[in-house]
Amino acid sequence: MHVILDATAMVAAGSGNVLASRLIHRAHTVPGWFLYAPTCALVEADRTRPGTAEHIAALPGIAVLDLDLPTALAVARDTTWAPAQIEYAARPTPERLDGSVVATADPENWKGRAVRVLDLNP
């Protein structure tokens, strides 16, 4: 299972959201569970709740996705940075044939985007 945290999920994790905490725990302890934090979303989360980026980046089991050239080119075609990087990262690849799921505390943000959403609201 490949899951990408959006900024709202990162803020929720830092605020004690139980579902976000479970994802982080699984990514750290369960084989086959992978959790990703895109750099653009880290910046957005830290602007919302200062200290979030350092907290998320320090957690074991979370891979930070860099803004490399192919990602930057995908982001450049969109009007938003974090959602564009997340949508690009969630696409199917030869390693992840089904792509990734986007964990979010605000699923309305993803309406109209080509991603599968995991709602972290109870």
Q: Tell me what pLDDT residue 65 has.
A: 96
Q: Tell me what pLDDT residue 83 has.
A: 95
Contacts 24+ apart (CB under 8 A), 19-23: 19/120, 19/121, 19/122, 20/103, 20/105, 20/120, 23/103, 23/120
- Residue 120 CA to residue 26 CA, distance in Å, equals 15
Average pLDDT of the residues of the chain: 95
State pLDDT tens for residues 9-47.
999 999 999 999 999 999 999 999 999 999 999 999 999
- Residue 89 CA to residue 91 CA, distance in Å, equals 6
Q: Nearest-CA neighbor of 5 among 58, 65, 54, 47?
A: 65
Is the pLDDT score of 122 beyond 90?
no
Q: Provide the pairing of β-strand 116-119 with 34-38.
A: unpaired
pLDDT mean over 53-60: 93
pLDDT mean over 103-115: 95
State pLDDT tens for residues 64-103.
999 999 999 989 998 899 999 999 999 999 988 999 999 9
